[in-house]
Amino acid sequence: MQFNFMRFIIKWLSNIKVAIFLLVVLIFCSLIGSIVEQTDKPINPLIENISSSTNIFNLLNFSNVFNNGWFFCLNLLLGLSLISCTFTQQLPSFDFCRSLNFLKKFLETEKFDGSLVFPTNWFPFVISRMHKENYFLFQKNKAVYASKGLIGRLGPVFVHLSLILILLASFISALGGLLAQEFVPKGEIAYLQNFPSDHLVANLPVYPIRVNDFWVSHLDGLIHQFYTNISSLNEYGKELSSFTISVNHPFYQQQVIWYQTDWDIIGLKCKLNDLIYQIPVTSISTAGKRLWISWLPFSENGSTLFFETLRGDFILPSFNLNRSSYLEIGQNLQLLSSVNTTILDILTCTGLQVRGDPGELLLSLGFGVLILSTFISYVSYTRIWIIKKFDFIQIGGLTNRAKLRFDYQLLNLFDSISTNIKT
């Protein structure tokens, strides 16, 4: 009874209609995941009339489709369906095509894609011509069986294999993948814990790091590249390694890739007489340019500062003289006659992204096999049967591609035979 039940399950999973249905459901769910904002919070109904549909969305958790258990179950069922179809249909079909099939005579009920009749004395030339065209020839008495392009029958097997590898890689990436993003100030120690979404595994690794330095290079007065020097620490704060990253030049360590994503100015380090203060900075965008603005509360009306780059210069507007002053870091501002004000440093932070994907290699292999299967599917699989009679040779063939033009292919194949015989 149990054996019959397993046989029924395997037969049901290997059905092409089941695989197509699962694929359609996955496409529909992925489409919803692309349209609906993916957050960890349930969807709030905006209108009372759609509260029932909203409850359904919340029940199925469509706001977090790709991390749902039922979504992984659907992928698992699709993978099992592909595996079942491969072992119960595709591979047995390939074994059948690989076997030798001789015909003693052609029946009128047999449907060939192409057929020809030659005189008996043409038999050696027919065999020689097919051998030159790289056909595999097998003879049994007066019957000959020839085949070419058997690898073309492996196309569907490679397609199934590639899809299985892609699904397996996606499942591994979902279980053990890591994606974290942080803005870390220069000189600070941080734990990269800002994960965009929940993971199926709770015990994710934590990577303590220290941003040693951050700097920007300029070319023709414009920002050319920005760099971050990072130290990887252990749980006791001891430095394990140090590396420098930049845009388009990430760092790879222990199957984890560190990317430089963005940067920002978060404050100013200012000296007022003998006291040191940290002043916040606000980022603004105007006319396609990015500016940072801060306010120094060291006079009756205060003073405003503008930064455009990290080169160490800034703009100090002068409302009394109706003109602005360009000053540098470390220069005395002389805001008040009795107060010495100096901007000591610009406090910056660097945007980091850490990505670890244990299924990336398997995913690349899956797509590589899928591309290979595309080329294999263009290989025509041709079978030709030859039966030698007393006064003629009868030839019939089948192919899986270009069936309507197969007669012309046979004629072209044996076109030079008559010329050779006459000469």
Token pair of 12, please?
A: 């049901």
Cα separation, 182 vs 176, whole angstroms: 20
Cα separation, 53 vs 384, whole angstroms: 60
3-state secondary structure of 247: coil
**Residue 73 CB contacts under 8 Å (≥ 6 apart), including other chains:** none
| pLDDT tens track for 252-285 | 877 788 888 888 888 888 887 788 888 888 887 7
Sheet containing strand 239-246, edge to edge, reads: 189-191, 208-219, 222-233, 239-246
* Fold type of domain 100-149+380-422: TATA-Binding Protein (3.30.310)
DSSP result, 162-194: HHHHHHHHHHHHHHH-EEEEEEEETT-EEE---
pLDDT greater at residue 148 or residue 103 = 148
pTM higher than the cut 0.85:
no
Phi-psi region of 417 (alpha: psi -120 to 50; beta: other; left: phi over 0): alpha
Structural contact between residues 388 and 123, judged by C-beta atoms closer than 8 angstroms? yes
pLDDT at 201 over 50: no
| pLDDT tens track for 285-338 | 776 677 888 877 766 666 777 777 777 677 776 655 556 676 777 777 765 556
Based on its alpha-carbon atoms, the radius of gyration of the chain, rounded to whole angstroms, reads 36
Residue 17, burial from CB neighbour count under 10 angstroms (0-12, 13-18, 19+):
exposed
Structural contact between residues 314 and 292, judged by C-beta atoms closer than 8 angstroms? no
How many C-beta atoms surround the C-beta of residue 47 within 10 A? 8
Q: DSSP secondary-structure letter at 414?
A: T
pLDDT at 202 over 60: no
| Range 361-372 average pLDDT | 91
Coarse DSSP helix, strand, coil percentages of the chain, rounded to the nearest 5 percent: 35, 35, 30
The domain ranges of the chain are 2-95, 100-149+380-422, 180-354
Token pair of 332, please?
A: 């005395």
Structural contact between residues 82 and 157, judged by C-beta atoms closer than 8 angstroms? no
User: Across all residues in the chain, what is the average pLDDT?
Assistant: 78
Cα dihedral: 183, 184, 189, 193 (round 10): 0
- Find residue 252's DSSP bridge partners: 257
